[in-house]
C-alpha cells in the first residue's frame, strides 16, 4: 500500500485516508495509491461502500504544483490522471468523498470522480487552476458542468473563485453537509447508499443544456485582461455540452497542455511560490515570533484609517490617536462609511461591520499595545517627535513602526531608546485593500522584530517583503525609475494617454501617469524637493510634473493632473498639460507602443538590478512579488525580473547601454546586469552573497 494512503474498516464501510502533508496534494504516488486502495477495498466481500477522506486540515488541495516545472522540463511524463479518476468512478461499490478544508483543482476533480460528496460546513470547493495559468486537467471541465450546469461551471473554471459548501449543495456539487463529525456522517451516508446503483458523474447529461457564454467571455476579457487560461477554461467547459465525455476529456487535455507549456503558467506558478518564498527570510531567529495582540495607530488621516481597518479586519483591537478630536471623529465616520459600502455590496453583514468598528478605539491607551505604528505627515522633524513620545509611552518590548515611504528608519530609530524594536511598515494605499507590506529593516532592527512583522503581515492577509533602509526602499525606488521614463517620453512628444495605453495593454493595472494622478502628484513633488541631493550628475530629470504642481494640478484630488476629472465622466487628457508639453524644448517624437514598453521596462529592470546589488532587496523574487502585489504588475508576466529573464538580459543590457551612451547617467548599466550577461546567467540563477 502507498505510504500516503491508509485504509481501515468501520462495519461494512471502508475508510481510506489520504495523508500527504501539508495539503494532501496529488504528488506522485498519491492518486495511484488512492486508486489501488479503492480497488483493493472494493474487492473485499466484507466492504459494501467506501469513504475517502483527507488527513489534517484539508481534503486534496490540488495537483502537486511543484510537478509542473518538471513536466515542462521533460523530467516527468505528461500529467495523466484521467485513468485514475475513471477507475475511481468505475468502482463497483459506492465511493463517498468526505471533504473538508480547501477542495481545489485536482482535489475537486477527484472528489467529482466519486459517486457522492459529503462536506464539512466550512469547506471551500473550486477549480482555481486559472490562477496558475492552467485549466483543470483531470476532467474538471467535463464533470463540473454535469453536476452544476454549463454556465456555473464555466464561471467557476474561468475565475477560479471557490464556493462555500452550502452553495455547492444547492448547485448539486455536494450531496450532504455534515454536522460536527464529518467522518461519522460520511460513513452513515455510505451505509445508506450501499447496494443502491451508484451514479457516475460522466453519465449525467441533464444539466448539459447549451448556454451562451459570450457575456462571460466579455467579462473575462475585461476583468482578467491579457490572460489566456480563463478563455481556454470556458472553451473546455463549453465542449462538455457538445462532445461525448471521452472526447471532451481529450479536448481538455490538449488545452491543458497548451496552457502548461505556455509562458503565463510558468509566470503565475513563479508568483505562487514567490509569494510564499518572500516570507522565508534567511538568517532570522528560529522560534515563534512575538504576536501582536493589540495595536495602536498614531495619525488618523487616510493612511492611518486604512491601517486601523487592516488591523480591525484581522480581529486585532487597535487604539487610534490624532492631535485633533475632529480628525478622530471624521476618521471614524469615514471608516464606518467604507464598511457600509462593503455591506451595500454584500461583502460584509452589519453585525460584522459593528464588530470591526468596535475594535477601533479613538484615544485608547497605547501602553498595552504590542505594536505602535505612526502614520503622521511625511515630515522628518514631526515623525521624530512622535517617535520619541511613543517610545516613552509604549511598554518595553513593544515594536515601534513607521509607515514612512521616504524617510530613513535608522534616523527615526535614533529618536528612541529601542532601535532594535524599530521597523518600517510601508503600507500601500488603500492600506485596508492593498496586499503589499514592505517591511523595512533598519541597521539596528533586531531579527525578532523582523520575524514578528512578517508574521503580522500574514495575519493581516498581506504579503510582507523585507527590504533595506535606503531612499524609496525597494518598490518606490524602482517604480520611480520606470515613471521617470514615462514622463520623459511625454516631454519628448509621445501623448500621455498613449503612454498609459501602451503599458495597460502590456498588462499594468494602471498607466504610470494615471497612477501619479491617483496618488497625488504633490507627493512626488515634495519628495523630489526633499531629496534633491540624490540626483545624479549628468542624469536627465523630467520637469513636467514640477510645472504641473506649481500650477496646483495635483491629479484626481484637484480635478486636474495628467487628465481632467469631472464627476461621472471618463477622464480626458488634460489640454493644459498638452500645451505645457508642447512648449517644452527638445525632441518632438511619438514613440511606438513597443518602444514605450521596452524603454520603461528596461529602466525598471536596470534599477531593480541596482537595488539587488546594493542589498536593498535580497532576491529577485522579492522584487517580483513587490511589483505584482503593490504596483499592479501583471502576475501572468511573473513580475519584472521573471519577465526580464523571458525577454533576455542581453537585449535589455544592450538597450541600457545605448541609452547610457546617449549621455544620461541614470541609465548607467547595473553592475549585476552586466555580470549576469557576462556569465550567461538569468535573474532566477542569482543568489545574493549573504
Number of residues that bind ligand 3HC (CB under 6 A): 24
Contact call for residue 158 and ligand 3HC (CB under 6 A): no
Cβ proximity to ligand 3HC: between 233 and 423 the closer is 233
Cβ proximity to ligand 3HC: between 216 and 236 the closer is 236
Positions 275 through 314 that interact with ligand 3HC (CB under 6 A) = 276
Minimum Å distance from CB 140 to ligand 3HC? 6
Contact call for residue 271 and ligand 3HC (CB under 6 A): no
Cβ proximity to ligand 3HC: between 137 and 424 the closer is 137
Contact call for residue 64 and ligand 3HC (CB under 6 A): yes
**For residues 611 and 474, what is the distance between their CA atoms, to the nearest angstrom?**
7
Tell me the helix, strand and coil percentages in the chain, rounded to 5.
50, 10, 35
Q: What is the 3 state secondary structure string of 68-104?
A: HHHHHCCCCCCCCCHHHHHHHHCCCCCEEEEECCEEE
Contact call for residue 618 and ligand 3HC (CB under 6 A): no
Minimum Å distance from CB 79 to ligand 3HC? 6
User: Residue from 128, 299, 304, 561 that binds ligand 3HC (CB under 6 A)?
Assistant: 128
Minimum Å distance from CB 273 to ligand 3HC? 6
Location of C-alpha cell 535614533: 414
Binding region for ligand 3HC (CB under 6 A) out of 22-30, 69-77, 327-335, 669-677: 22-30
Minimum Å distance from CB 163 to ligand 3HC? 14
Minimum Å distance from CB 630 to ligand 3HC? 19
**For residues 99 and 344, what is the distance between their CA atoms, to the nearest angstrom?**
33
Q: Residue 550: how many CB atoms within 10 A of its CB?
A: 9
Contact characters 511-550, ligand 3HC, x per CB under 6 A: ----------------------------------------
Location of C-alpha cell 517591511: 439
Would residue 129 show up in a list of annotated catalytic residues for this protein? yes
User: Residue from 31, 94, 114, 136 that binds ligand 3HC (CB under 6 A)?
Assistant: 136
Contact 78, 38 (CB under 8 A): no
Contact call for residue 464 and ligand 3HC (CB under 6 A): no
Nearest of 166, 99, 102, 105 to residue 131 by alpha carbon: 105
Whether the CA torsion 196, 198, 203, 207 is positive or negative: it is positive
Minimum Å distance from CB 105 to ligand 3HC? 2
Contact call for residue 621 and ligand 3HC (CB under 6 A): no
Cβ proximity to ligand 3HC: between 137 and 639 the closer is 137
Contact call for residue 77 and ligand 3HC (CB under 6 A): no
Minimum Å distance from CB 282 to ligand 3HC? 14
Binding region for ligand 3HC (CB under 6 A) out of 130-138, 421-429, 470-478, 567-575: 130-138
Would residue 109 show up in a list of annotated catalytic residues for this protein? yes
Contact call for residue 138 and ligand 3HC (CB under 6 A): yes
Query: Cell triple for residue 5?
Result: 494512503
**DSSP-based three-state secondary structure for 360:** strand
**DSSP-based three-state secondary structure for 367:** coil
Minimum Å distance from CB 162 to ligand 3HC? 9
> Which of these is catalytic: 32, 41, 67, 129?
129
Contact call for residue 252 and ligand 3HC (CB under 6 A): no
**For residues 26 and 22, what is the distance between their CA atoms, to the nearest angstrom?**
11
**DSSP-based three-state secondary structure for 538:** coil
Binding region for ligand 3HC (CB under 6 A) out of 21-29, 290-298, 436-444, 537-545: 21-29
Contact call for residue 630 and ligand 3HC (CB under 6 A): no
Element (H, E) at 220: helix 214-223
> Which of these is catalytic: 41, 89, 109, 235?
109
User: Residue from 134, 224, 460, 481 that binds ligand 3HC (CB under 6 A)?
Assistant: 134
Query: Cell triple for residue 23?
Result: 495539503
- Counting other chains too, the contacts that 391-395 makes at CB distance below 8 Å and 24 or more residues apart are 391/415, 391/416, 391/417, 391/418, 393/366, 393/367, 394/296, 394/366, 394/367, 394/369, 395/367, 395/368, 395/369
Nearest of 233, 73, 97, 266 to residue 154 by alpha carbon: 233
**For residues 421 and 404, what is the distance between their CA atoms, to the nearest angstrom?**
16
Cβ proximity to ligand 3HC: between 291 and 377 the closer is 291
**For residues 55 and 67, what is the distance between their CA atoms, to the nearest angstrom?**
21
Positions 93 through 112 that interact with ligand 3HC (CB under 6 A) = 102, 104-106, 109
Q: Bridge partners of 9?
A: 14
Burial class (CB in 10 A: 0-12, 13-18, 19+), 121: middle
**For residues 475 and 277, what is the distance between their CA atoms, to the nearest angstrom?**
17
Contact call for residue 248 and ligand 3HC (CB under 6 A): no
Contact call for residue 25 and ligand 3HC (CB under 6 A): yes
Binding region for ligand 3HC (CB under 6 A) out of 20-28, 42-50, 228-236, 369-377: 20-28
Distance of CA 381 to the CA centre of its chain: 35
Contact call for residue 62 and ligand 3HC (CB under 6 A): yes
Cβ proximity to ligand 3HC: between 62 and 472 the closer is 62
Residues in the chain: 690
Nearest of 250, 640, 302 to residue 478 by alpha carbon: 640
Cβ proximity to ligand 3HC: between 106 and 331 the closer is 106
| Alpha helices per DSSP H over 394-537 | 409-413, 447-459, 475-492, 496-506, 512-519, 521-530
User: Residue from 22, 283, 287, 337 that binds ligand 3HC (CB under 6 A)?
Assistant: 22
Cβ proximity to ligand 3HC: between 124 and 191 the closer is 124
**For residues 426 and 438, what is the distance between their CA atoms, to the nearest angstrom?**
5
Element (H, E) at 552: none
**For residues 545 and 556, what is the distance between their CA atoms, to the nearest angstrom?**
14
Location of C-alpha cell 512622535: 386
Element (H, E) at 320: strand 318-321
Cβ proximity to ligand 3HC: between 268 and 409 the closer is 268
Binding region for ligand 3HC (CB under 6 A) out of 64-72, 181-189, 245-253, 301-309: 64-72
Contact characters 584-613, ligand 3HC, x per CB under 6 A: ------------------------------
Which residues of the chain form contacts with ligand 3HC (CB under 6 A)? 22-23, 25, 61-66, 79, 102, 104-106, 109, 128-129, 132, 134, 136-138, 140, 276
Catalytic annotation, residues = 109, 129
Amino acid at each position: 500500500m502507498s505510504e500516503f494512503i491508509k485504509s481501515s474498516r468501520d462495519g461494512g464501510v471502508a475508510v481510506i485516508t489520504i495523508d500527504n502533508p501539508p495539503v494532501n496534494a496529488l504528488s506522485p504516488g498519491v492518486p495511484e495509491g488512492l486508486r489501488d486502495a479503492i480497488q483493493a477495498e472494493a474487492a473485499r466481500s466484507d466492504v459494501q461502500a467506501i469513504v475517502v477522506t483527507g488527513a489534517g486540515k484539508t481534503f486534496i488541495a490540488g495537483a502537486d504544483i511543484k510537478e509542473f516545472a518538471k513536466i515542462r522540463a521533460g523530467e516527468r511524463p505528461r500529467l495523466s490522471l484521467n485513468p485514475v479518476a475513471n477507475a475511481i468512478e468505475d468502482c463497483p461499490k459506492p465511493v463517498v468523498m468526505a471533504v473538508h478544508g480547501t477542495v481545489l483543482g485536482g482535489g475537486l476533480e477527484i472528489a467529482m470522480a466519486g459517486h457522492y460528496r459529503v462536506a464539512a460546513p466550512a469547506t471551500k470547493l473550486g477549480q482555481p487552476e486559472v490562477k496558475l495559468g492552467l485549466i483543470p486537467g483531470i476532467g474538471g471541465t467535463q464533470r463540473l458542468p454535469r453536476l452544476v450546469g454549463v454556465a456555473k461551471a464555466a464561471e467557476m473554471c474561468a475565475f477560479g473563485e471557490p464556493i462555500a459548501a452550502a452553495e455547492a449543495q444547492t448547485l448539486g456539487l455536494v450531496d450532504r453537509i455534515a454536522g460536527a463529525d464529518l467522518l461519522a456522517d460520511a460513513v452513515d451516508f455510505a451505509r445508506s447508499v450501499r447496494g443502491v446503483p451508484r451514479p457516475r458523474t460522466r453519465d449525467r447529461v441533464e444539466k448539459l443544456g447549451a448556454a451562451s457564454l459570450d457575456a462571460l467571455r466579455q467579462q473575462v476579457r475585461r476583468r482578467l485582461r491579457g490572460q489566456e487560461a480563463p478563455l481556454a477554461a470556458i472553451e473546455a467547459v463549453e465542449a462538455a455540452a457538445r462532445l461525448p465525455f471521452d472526447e471532451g476529456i481529450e479536448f481538455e487535455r490538449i488545452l491543458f497542455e497548451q496552457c502548461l507549456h505556455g509562458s503565463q503558467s510558468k509566470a503565475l506558478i513563479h508568483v505562487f511560490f514567490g509569494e510564499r518564498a518572500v516570507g522565508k527570510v534567511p538568517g532570522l531567529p528560529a522560534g515563534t515570533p512575538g504576536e501582536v495582540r493589540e495595536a495602536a495607530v498614531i495619525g488618523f488621516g487616510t493612511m492611518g484609517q486604512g491601517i486601523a481597518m487592516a488591523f480591525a479586519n484581522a480581529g486585532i483591537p487597535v487604539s487610534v490617536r490624532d492631535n485633533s478630536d475632529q480628525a478622530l471623529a471624521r476618521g471614524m465616520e469615514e471608516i464606518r462609511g467604507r464598511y457600509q459600502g462593503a455591506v451595500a455590496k454584500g461583502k460584509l453583514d452589519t453585525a460584522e461591520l459593528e464588530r470591526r468598528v468596535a475594535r477601533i478605539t479613538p484615544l485608547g491607551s497605547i501602553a498595552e499595545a504590542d505594536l505602535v505604528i505612526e502614520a503622521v505627515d511625511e515630515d522628518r522633524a514631526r515623525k521624530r517627535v512622535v517617535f520619541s513620545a511613543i517610545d516613552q509611552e509604549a511598554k518595553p518590548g513593544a515594536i515601534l513602526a513607521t509607515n514612512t515611504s521616504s524617510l530613513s528608519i535608522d534616523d527615526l530609530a535614533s529618536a528612541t531608546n529601542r532601535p532594535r524594536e524599530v521597523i518600517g511598515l510601508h503600507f500601500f494605499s488603500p492600506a485596508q485593500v492593498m496586499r503589499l507590506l514592505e517591511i523595512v529593516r533598519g541597521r539596528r532592527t533586531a531579527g525578532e522584530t523582523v520575524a514578528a512583522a512578517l508574521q503580522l503581515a500574514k495575519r493581516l492577509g498581506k504579503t510582507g517583503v523585507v527590504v533595506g533602509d535606503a531612499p524609496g526602499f525597494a518598490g518606490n525606488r524602482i517604480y520611480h525609475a520606470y515613471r521617470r521614463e514615462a514622463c520623459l517620453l511625454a516631454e519628448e512628444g509621445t501623448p500621455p494617454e498613449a503612454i498609459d495605453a501602451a503599458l495597460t495593454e502590456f498588462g499594468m493595472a494602471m498607466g504610470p501617469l494615471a497612477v501619479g494622478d491617483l496618488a497625488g502628484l504633490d507627493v512626488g513633488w515634495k519628495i523630489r524637493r526633499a531629496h534633491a541631493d540624490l540626483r545624479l550628475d549628468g542624469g536627465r530629470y523630467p520637469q513636467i510634473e514640477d510645472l504641473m504642481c506649481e500650477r496646483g494640478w495635483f491629479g484626481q484630488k484637484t480635478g486636474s493632473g495628467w487628465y481632467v476629472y469631472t464627476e461621472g465622466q471618463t477622464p480626458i487628457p488634460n489640454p493644459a498639460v498638452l500645451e505645457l508639453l508642447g512648449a517644452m524644448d527638445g525632441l518632438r517624437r511619438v514613440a511606438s507602443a513597443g518602444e514605450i514598453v521596452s524603454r520603461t521596462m528596461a529602466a525598471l529592470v536596470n534599477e531593480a538590478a541596482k537595488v539587488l546589488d546594493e542589498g536593498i532587496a535580497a532576491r529577485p523574487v522579492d522584487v517580483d512579488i513587490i511589483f505584482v502585489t503593490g504596483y499592479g504588475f501583471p502576475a501572468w508576466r511573473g513580475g519584472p525580473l521573471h519577465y526580464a529573464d523571458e525577454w533576455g538580459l542581453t537585449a535589455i543590457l544592450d538597450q541600457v547601454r545605448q541609452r547610457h551612451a546617449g549621455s544620461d547617467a541614470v541609465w548607467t548599466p547595473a553592475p549585476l546586469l552586466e555580470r549576469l550577461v557576462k556569465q550567461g546567467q538569468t535573474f532566477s540563477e542569482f543568489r545574493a552573497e549573504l
